[in-house]
Structure 1
């Protein structure tokens, strides 16, 4: 009886990631444009057209760079 319970729990544990994931549609490359902030509000990313990125971190300053998709 105990082995059946453990086997059932193991099967549930293995199937959980399969049912927990779902497909999402691919966003166009312009989907990143705009301002994104992390949950704590300490980091801000500004994605601009032409692959330019401006990063503000910890209210210390801003950094410029590029990104590629």
Structure 2
């Protein structure tokens, strides 16, 4: 008996690595907006497809952008 195997989803690539971004800047609100949900939550790494280094930088950048009022904390 052969066990059925499900199809693996395609591996996501880090958008920051593709664009060769050294440092994720909090002033690029339009780019950071892609990584938050419509409720205002930060997307996890397994969903966003970022590498660990850029995910950490992106999280800090989103939090800074929120404090500078470039991004909302919550969306009603």
Give the TM-score category using the shorter length. 0.3 to 0.5
What TM-score do the two structures reach when normalised by structure 1? 0.32
Q: Which of the two has greater strand per residue? A: 1
Asked which structure has the greater RCO (Cα within 8 Å, sep 6+), the reply is 2
TM-score (norm 2): 0.31
